[in-house]
Amino acid sequence: MSDPVSPLGNARFDGFVSVREVGPLGMITLRAKADVKELAAAIKAAVGTTVPAQRRVVINGDRAAGWMSPDEYLLVLPYDQVAAAMAAIATAMGGAHHLAADVSDARAIFRVEGAKATQALQKLMPVDFATLEPGELRRSRAAQVAAAIWEQDGGFTVVCFRSVAAYVFGLLSHSAQPGSELA
């Protein structure tokens, strides 16, 4: 069995905010219509949270469930517990129409931390951070690639595709250059 590695080997940059690549982190994409009654039990079994409301992320320690679209949820959990969670989802969903996929190795995750974390992201994303609510998961783009962000533990978690991990890390670290704070 090979050891899982995060795309950039937990790279880190310290500017006016710190940018660090975290991981490997377990991620499961769960697709099912919101009215499927088995859904709540499946999410509970996998990450121990309630079904997130529209555009929300529910955090439970090192696990989380996020709302990605009307029929798609993102489950975040420790990497080595994905297989167990996948089995739990399959049991809980039973015959209900759904799709659960292990996307842990398809993603890269960054943490942007510091008092001015918003400023580093503001320069890259067409998101109005003033109206971003606590516990909101926002899917958008970071410069030229898709990214999702949510606020957690006094910083932001940024999720993007693994193939663009180096690009996004470059963007974030450039955006966090000391002296480039917004007024």
Query: Which residues in this chain contact other proteins in the complex, by CB under 8 A?
Result: 54-55, 68-70, 72, 126, 128, 138-141, 146
127-145 as b/e: b if 16+ CB within 10 A: beeeebeebbbbbeebbee
Task: Give the C-alpha separation, 6 to 1, whole Å.
Answer: 16
- Is the Cβ of residue 2 or residue 131 nearer to other proteins in the bound state? 131
Least Å from the CB of residue 138 to other proteins? 7
- Is the Cβ of residue 48 or residue 135 nearer to other proteins in the bound state? 135
Least Å from the CB of residue 90 to other proteins? 25
- Is the Cβ of residue 111 or residue 139 nearer to other proteins in the bound state? 139
Least Å from the CB of residue 72 to other proteins? 8
Least Å from the CB of residue 79 to other proteins? 26
